[in-house]
Structure 1
């Protein structure tokens, strides 16, 4: 059964946006070649909030990606860059509807430890989704 992984990150400052964007591109490239990756997307919500969704053949495939390469290098930086960060995972058909994804994260999301969380993060209150641009799909590379 496929496994879904969803993240929501809010940058503390626009000054980290350049480094964040660079690493996001590197992670997206890693993602496209990751064994077991079925598909996903990055969504720039606005207000320095970014979402990712990825679908995997299995939880083990997702963990192998998470713990390697550019993604592994970037994960600790989230603690400094973000004042809100959360993740949610579930098994089932690949999730693509952002309203459904938002509802799942608000209901079952797990907060990431941050060095300087804001009050909304600590209260686990996610602002209503405000999409101003289309998602950027990430497709697995054909082998």
Structure 2
């Protein structure tokens, strides 16, 4: 078809600016009252190829997605999927409990829950009463 039409169909179907791009999975990060939740879409990555480290306040998630084997003679009209190694680093605020991190990886989605230290969570202050007054039973 390429010879017949005089142009490369695959080149026309690629996304603008895609060229040679690296694999960079998307993450969402949210804060709840008692934890920080990280959710990353990492399809095609095997659990054995995933590494998660937490040093001081730096969370690093790295891994690799292997390129699928191509057979000689295969003709691709577009090739938009990215492969290779990735490395994402997030800086955490102070007050996280690094001893109780939970990680789950299912169906290509990584879920991390990093709890906050209980002493750093907001405390409710009761209004009223006198200073030094002891609670009555």
TM bucket normalised to smaller = under 0.3
Normalized per residue, the structure richer in helix is 1
Normalized per residue, the structure richer in strand is 2
TM-score between the two structures when normalised by the length of structure 1 = 0.26
TM-score between the two structures when normalised by the length of structure 2 = 0.27
Larger radius of gyration: 2
